[in-house]
Structure 1
Amino acid sequence: MSTEHNVSGDGAERILNAAIKLFGEHGVRGTTLKSIAAEANVSQALIVHHYGTKEGLRSACDAYVADVIRERKEETLAEPQFDPLMTLRRLEQGRPLLRYLIRTLTEGGAHAAQLIDGMVADAKSYMSQGERDGVIKPSDTPHDRAVVLVIWSMGALALHEHVERLLGVDFLAENVPPESLQRYLRPALELFKHGLVEDGSFDHLAAFLGEEKSQGTTQTSHDDKK
């Protein structure tokens, strides 16, 4: 794993690699600085020097994972889906990053919220660029669309055991070809490319939602004049 973000020198990078691996395997509460130091082959004092506390190290791990996803936005945008976990799979150290994400999502808390918020902001940016490039359809609710896509993606990751059970797709498997993801990606691509319902279906619901949006806009306008 190599990055310019939040890493200064080989010792700091080894610490970050070790923390991501162990946090993903055992959780933050189940991982000690002593075990991270042993995994990284450094002293605990060096961890404290670079990251302060275990919480500081965890924040650095969060930032690293978010940066990796962000740096691959062009690769993600070039494909017919917006699934950060798919791009992570291609990295040499992708599996530890995915395990770390799973732990973060299932443990919840402020760290998970910050990570998800960053993903939503990035997804919104990706799709805005996609709209300008003529790849993505415009949305009346770009922020909410980004939220839903990220939640769907991260939900699949958090439920990865059931994805494997029902579709035979293992997000965490080592050394597997992209073809192994077909049963997950094909229906996802179908939904993105063709949609789900036939033209005319649920028009009444769409009209209702349009009216709700219009009323909300009118109410906001009235509130602004007060």
Structure 2
Amino acid sequence: MNKESVNKEFEARPETAPKAWHAGDLTAKARIRNATLSLFAQHGEDGTSMRAIAAAADVTVGLVVHHYGTKDGLREAVDTLIVELFATTLSSTPTTGAAREIVGLRDAAVEQMLRDNPAIVDYLRRALLTGPGYPGDVLSRLAALTADQVRALRGTGLASTDRSVTEQTVTTLVRQFGRLLLQPLVNRIVDEFGEPGQYAPELVVGVKSRE
């Protein structure tokens, strides 16, 4: 199954596609979390004040502190939201069929979820490129989620057992996050230097095992 077919098959399953988070018509606590995601994605954690978060969520600073305490609490809430969206996205895909098709559908589902949530893309880019990195951060939690998914697929025969869980986890994350980081560079080069009407090539990122 080629990528176009995979995308069409997933798009034909609208009842399974997770919806983007929305800032409107939510509880104050959810509005605060969503405002934090947007502002952290744009300006980074250090460049975002509690006052700015309160203003974006249309609440008082005191209510932000009441619900989340500190920026650490806000970051934890945002990280949890992102991990849950990834988990929901992956659980929405089929678990029967050819292994290659299952992998394609899962990648297409993640790609669609990220397209629906550009703030999450920007947030993850910041975490990957500028974050200090520590056990338990959003990237660590996404790696743990991916490893759990790999183990589940191995248990049902949909993932090979010829390679280690770690290697399969790395391959999956590099495949999913490589384009997230580098496709904008490809697009920019084509926009600035490409011929009129030229489309940016689609980046394909993978991992090659050491012999």
Bin the TM-score by the shorter chain. 0.5 to 0.7
1:120 to partner: Cα distance? 1.8
Q: Under a length normalisation based on structure 2, what TM-score does the superposition of the two structures give?
A: 0.67
Q: What is the identity, as a one-letter code, of the residue corresponding to 1:62? A: D
**Which whole-Å deviations, capped at 9, do the CAs of 1:97-153 have from their partners, x for residues lacking one?**
111111222222146862222222221222233234443322331122202331443
1:53 maps to 70
When structure 1 is superposed on structure 2, of 64-73 and 103-112 the one drifting more is 103-112
1:18 aligns with 2:35: yes
**Which whole-Å deviations, capped at 9, do the CAs of 1:6-46 have from their partners, x for residues lacking one?**
xxx70000001111011101111111111111111000000
Distance 1:181 1:59 in 2: 36
1:63 to partner: Cα distance? 1.5
Distance 1:25 1:111 in 2: 21
1:165 to partner: Cα distance? 3.5
RMSD of aligned alpha carbons: 3.3
Q: What is the identity, as a one-letter code, of the residue corresponding to 1:157? A: L
Conserved 8 A contact 2:36-2:53:
yes
1:122 aligns with 2:138: no
Name the larger-Rg structure: 1
Residue 202 (structure 2) aligned to one of 168, 173, 183: 183
1:100 maps to 123
Larger helix percent: 1
Residue 104 (structure 2) aligned to one of 80, 94, 116: 80
Distance 1:115 1:63 in 2: 8
Do the aligned partners of residues 150 and 181 (structure 1) sit closer, same or farther apart at CA in structure 2, a change above 3 Å counting? farther
1:167 to partner: Cα distance? 7.6
Q: What is the identity, as a one-letter code, of the residue corresponding to 2:104? A: P
1:71 to partner: Cα distance? 1.9
1:89 aligns with 2:114: yes
Residue 157 (structure 1) aligned to one of 159, 173, 180: 180
Q: Under a length normalisation based on structure 1, what TM-score does the superposition of the two structures give?
A: 0.63
Do the aligned partners of residues 48 and 140 (structure 1) sit closer, same or farther apart at CA in structure 2, a change above 3 Å counting? same
Count of residues in correspondence between the two structures: 173
Where in structure 1 are there 5+ consecutive unaligned residues? 3-8, 169-179, 197-201, 207-226
Q: What is the identity, as a one-letter code, of the residue corresponding to 1:96? A: A
When structure 1 is superposed on structure 2, of 70-79 and 59-68 the one drifting more is 70-79
Where in structure 2 are there 5+ consecutive unaligned residues? 1-20, 95-101, 192-198
Distance 1:13 1:72 in 2: 20
Do the aligned partners of residues 70 and 96 (structure 1) sit closer, same or farther apart at CA in structure 2, a change above 3 Å counting? same
